[in-house]
């Protein structure tokens, strides 16, 4: 059994209050995390603030880039040592975790290079005899709050640009899955990230998480999680007039036209919904398919999804691992029961395929006849449950896709490029893929609209989003100041 403390100022800080991390594949506790409180939050934020005002502020962009590069090199060499911690915590399949971790260093390299290439911007003004200059300054202490589904990759998207911009960071990973973040923080410290620049506090969101957001020295918050958690964080941040980025949930639509390449589409729909057992924010959970091909596409989805192998997430051959925790299994089970009671037709029942498996297993599930008033259409399951409906006209397809309180992602499948572009432009979402699904790249922003949140991560403005501008006006000679 592993016992993790908080990682603050380059030191492990233990706690008498702890949280069990239960391995979802076995339903057995494999580690404990410290359960932080307001005092822990105060210590972490003050430590990060001291690092910001002393050593870290003296680093120029080139020196920060060197530190981030050293961290990238450490990750490139040692990423494999972090894998087991994440699989044990959240039950994500080892093949997926390896895929994410083998590329973790690239996010850091990218933003180290961006920091090196930041050039001062010229500023002009129309006031005679007065020059103005534009400065980009880090916020100071940034609080980064992450969910349990992909803790380390999501952290990399926040941390790399935040550090490149010159901030210091306090991370609050999910109470369900903190181990990989803690192991990573230790690795970063050993690689040369100065003490206090990256700190990790563990515990519950409504206690230590909220205390971090409310702390008077917190200057910016970046949050990824549910819309419920996002609202709480935004309320707490508003109290201190602290800006936040909210990356929240989704109910993403996959629109399939009759002229789509079906082989490609079947793969896209299946990986869109069943990767990570449906526990991804961009999960394409609503399939909106042209009526003439609905039966053929549904049958092909059932043929593949029905044969996916459930198993131990540590086994590289496993295709479907467990759900991340018991409460989540209960929630998914209840939502599937509600879908049935509301009249949706269950074509593939993940409760049946999960029978006989220890741990929190739930197999791929497919519903037909899902209507817009049903819970399954409106609410995020965050599990392996696909809702199918059909359309007859393009306008109807767009209208169905946009009938959601969320707006994170969407997919369009057609071999007509003009139709693909036209429909993608009309779908209300932060990201839309055409004949493709789920790519991420440091140059391309991600984020949502409506209940999926606000602000963006990654993309060309990722570092700037962690900087504030300051204008300085300098009169070269006595200049008349208009009065009154």
Residues in contact with ligand NAD by the rule CB under 6 A: 145-149, 154, 172-175, 204-206, 209-210, 213, 224-226, 228-229, 232-233, 247-250, 281, 380, 382, 408, 448
Min dist. Cβ of residue 107 to ligand NAD (A): 14
Q: Which is nearer to ligand NAD, 150 or 319 (CB)?
A: 150
Write the CA distances from 245 to 241, 286, 302, integer angstroms.
13, 26, 38
Strands (E), 225-355: 244-247, 253-256, 286-290, 345-348
Task: Tell me how far apart the alpha carbons of residues 121 and 327 are, in angstroms, rounded to a whole number.
Answer: 50
What is the rounded CA–CA span in Å between residue 211 and residue 52?
20
At its nearest, how many Å lie between ligand NAD and the CB of residue 400?
21
73: its two tokens: 């090199």
- CB 306, min distance to ligand NAD, A: 26
Q: What residues contact residue 355 under an 8 Å CB cut-off, 6+ apart?
A: none
Between CA 393 and CA 288 the distance in angstroms is 11
Q: How far is the CB of 210 from ligand NAD (least distance, A)?
A: 4
3-class DSSP state for residue 311? coil
Residue with nearest beta carbon to ligand NAD: 205
Contact 344, 367 (CB under 8 A): yes
Characterise 433 by phi-psi region: left (phi > 0), alpha (psi -120 to 50), beta (else). beta
| Helices 417-426 + 394-402 axis angle, to 10 | 40
Active-site option among 86, 244, 281, 380: 281
The residue among 210 and 290 lying less far from ligand NAD, judged by its C-beta, is: 210
Q: Which is nearer to ligand NAD, 213 or 398 (CB)?
A: 213
Q: How far is the CB of 280 from ligand NAD (least distance, A)?
A: 7
Contacts of 109 by beta carbon, 8 Å cutoff, 6+ apart: 68, 69, 72
Nearer to ligand NAD, 20 or 131 (CB): 20
Q: How far is the CB of 151 from ligand NAD (least distance, A)?
A: 9
Task: Choose between 89 and 114: whose C-beta lies nearer to ligand NAD.
Answer: 89
Helix (H) or strand (E) holding 88: helix 80-90
- Do residues 252 and 284 touch, judged by C-beta distance below 8 A? yes
Query: Which is the catalytic residue, given 96, 175, 210, 247?
Result: 247
Tokens of 33: 């995390």
Shortest distance in whole angstroms from residue 258 CB to ligand NAD: 30
Cα 445 versus chain centre, distance: 12
Gap between the Cα atoms of 25 and 21, Å rounded: 12
Check whether the bond before 404 is cis (ω within 30° of 0): no
**Pair type for strands 409-413 and 431-434:** parallel
Q: Note the helical H segments in 148-253.
A: 151-164, 179-191, 210-214, 227-239
| Residue closer to ligand NAD, measured from CB, 114 or 380 | 380
Burial of 385 (0-12, 13-18, 19+ CB in 10 A): buried
DSSP one-letter code for 209 = I
Dihedral sign, Cα of residue 19, residue 195, residue 113, residue 115: positive
CB of 33 to ligand NAD, least distance (A): 11
Residue 148 vs 466, nearer CB to ligand NAD: 148
Q: Are 361 and 354 in contact (CB under 8 A)?
A: yes
The question of whether 244 is a catalytic residue gets the answer no
Which lies closer to ligand NAD via its Cβ, residue 449 or residue 472?
449
Catalytic residues: 247, 281
């Amino acid at each position: 059994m592993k016992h993790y403390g908080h990682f603050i100022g380059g030191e492990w800080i233990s706690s008498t209050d702890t949280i069990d991390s239960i391995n979802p594949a076995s339903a057995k506790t494999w580690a404990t995390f410290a359960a932080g409180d307001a005092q822990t939050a105060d210590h972490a934020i003050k430590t990060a603030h001291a690092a910001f005002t002393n050593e870290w502020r003296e680093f120029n962009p080139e020196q920060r880039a060197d530190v981030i590069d050293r961290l990238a090199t450490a990750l490139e060499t040692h990423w494999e040592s972090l894998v087991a911690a994440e699989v044990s915590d959240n039950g994500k399949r080892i093949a997926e975790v390896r895929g994410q971790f083998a590329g973790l260093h690239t996010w850091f390299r990218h933003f180290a290079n961006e920091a090196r290439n930041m050039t001062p911007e010229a500023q002009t003004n129309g006031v005679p005899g007065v020059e103005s200059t534009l400065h980009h300054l880090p916020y100071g202490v940034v609080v980064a709050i992450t969910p349990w589904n992909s803790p380390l990759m999501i952290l990399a998207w926040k941390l790399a640009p935040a550090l490149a911009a010159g901030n210091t960071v306090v991370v609050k990973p999910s109470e369900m899955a903190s181990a990989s973040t803690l192991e990573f923080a230790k690795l970063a410290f050993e690689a040369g990230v100065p003490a206090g620049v990256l700190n990790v506090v563990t515990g519950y969101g409504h206690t230590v998480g909220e205390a971090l957001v409310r702390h008077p020295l917190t200057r910016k918050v970046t949050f990824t999680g549910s819309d419920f958690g996002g609202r709480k964080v935004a309320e707490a941040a508003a109290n201190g007039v602290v800006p936040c980025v909210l990356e929240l949930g989704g109910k993403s639509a996959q629109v399939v036209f009759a002229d789509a390449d079906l082989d490609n589409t079947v793969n896209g729909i299946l990986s869109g919904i069943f990767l990570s057992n449906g526990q991804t924010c961009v999960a394409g959970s609503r399939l909106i398919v042209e009526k003439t091909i609905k039966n053929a596409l549904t049958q092909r989805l059932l043929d593949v999804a029905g044969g996916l192998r459930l198993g131990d997430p540590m086994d590289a051959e496993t295709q479907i691992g467990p759900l991340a925790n018991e409460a989540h299994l209960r929630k998914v089970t209840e939502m599937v029961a509600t879908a049935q009671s509301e009249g949706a037709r269950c074509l593939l029942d993940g409760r049946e395929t999960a029978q006989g498996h220890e741990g929190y297993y739930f197999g791929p599930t497919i519903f037909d006849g899902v209507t817009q008033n049903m819970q399954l259409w409106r609410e995020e399951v965050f599990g392996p449950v696909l809702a199918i409906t059909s359309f007859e006209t393009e306008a109807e397809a767009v209208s169905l896709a946009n009938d959601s309180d969320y707006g994170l992602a969407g997919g369009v499948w057609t071999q007509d490029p003009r139709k693909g572009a036209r429909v993608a432009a009309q779908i209300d979402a932060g990201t839309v893929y055409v004949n493709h699904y789920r790519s991420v790249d440091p140059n391309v922003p991600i984020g949502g609209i409506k209940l999926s949140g606000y602000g963006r991560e990654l993309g060309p403005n990722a570092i700037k989003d962690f900087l504030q501008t300051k204008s300085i006006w300098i009169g070269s000679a006595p200049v008349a100041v208009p009065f009154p």
